[in-house]
Amino acid sequence: SKINGYILNDGSKFSFNTVVGKRSQANGFLRAYEYNYGDLTWGIGGGVCQASTTVYLAAMQAGMTLVDHTSHSQKVSYTDLGMDATVSDTNGAEKDMSFRNNSGGQIFIAAHVMTDPANKKRLLCEVRIYGIDLGDISYRLDTEIVKVLEPSSEQIIIYDSTGEYVTFDDPIKVLTEASDGYVVDTYRVTLENGLEVASEKITRSTYPARQEKIAQWTQP
């Protein structure tokens, strides 16, 4: 609702953090899961990155000029590697998603939450960008995995003496399994009458490999 109806003049920049504002209860946000240095934790405004990702994908396929972009620390469930855009308003660790309108005219952004036609219990984000007619030109995003990052064989061990994760009778628990990381390039392909006429790399995203993390009981 904070994005829906936004008008961006030619030459102006859209900043997700500026438009959406502080993720606080006073600004209408609730607690939900969010990524914090690769781990899922509770936070005010958790999940807002699905909105920033959807705006990012719409803007790139509308031919906007990317200004600021950061990928997540790992793959998210709602889009492919190289197609996500994380944001943060944490002091000292701000991350924004921004783009500039260089289309030659105003654009109008429509943003909604809608029911998935294939699953009535599931909600989807939809963002549409309206502006000058592109005629026979359209855009598509392609990705390429350029490198696979292998995780370290060493474990991260959390020693637990409070029973938060493990107990004396059940002394070891795997908290996070080891997983590969990836370096991914994202390209915007220009199509004319459905035929490819140009391609440009717009981002390189790095998703670090994750070490196995275990909890191990220790005497209090």
Q: What percent of the chain has pLDDT over 90?
A: 84
The gap between the terminal CA atoms of the chain, to the nearest Å, is 50
Q: What is the pLDDT of residues 78-109, one digit of tens each?
A: 999 999 999 998 877 899 999 999 999 999 99
DSSP H helices in the chain: 16-20, 49-61
DSSP 8-state code for residue 95: B
Q: Look up residue 88 and give its two tokens.
A: 């943060």
Q: pLDDT tens, 113-170?
A: 999 999 999 999 999 999 999 999 999 999 999 999 999 999 999 999 999 999 999 9
Specify the DSSP element, H or E, that contains 107.
Answer: strand 107-116
Provide the pLDDT for residue 24: 86
pLDDT of residue 30: 85
Q: pLDDT, tens digit, for every residue of 22-48?
A: 998 899 888 877 766 556 677 776 789
Using CA atoms, how far apart are residues 106 and 10, in angstroms rounded to an integer?
Answer: 5
> What residues pair up with 36 in beta bridges, in sequence order?
39
By DSSP bridging, strand 39-44 and strand 65-68 are unpaired
User: pLDDT tens digits for 110-125?
Assistant: 999 999 999 999 999 9
**What residues are paired with 128 via a beta bridge?**
110
What pTM does this model have? 0.89
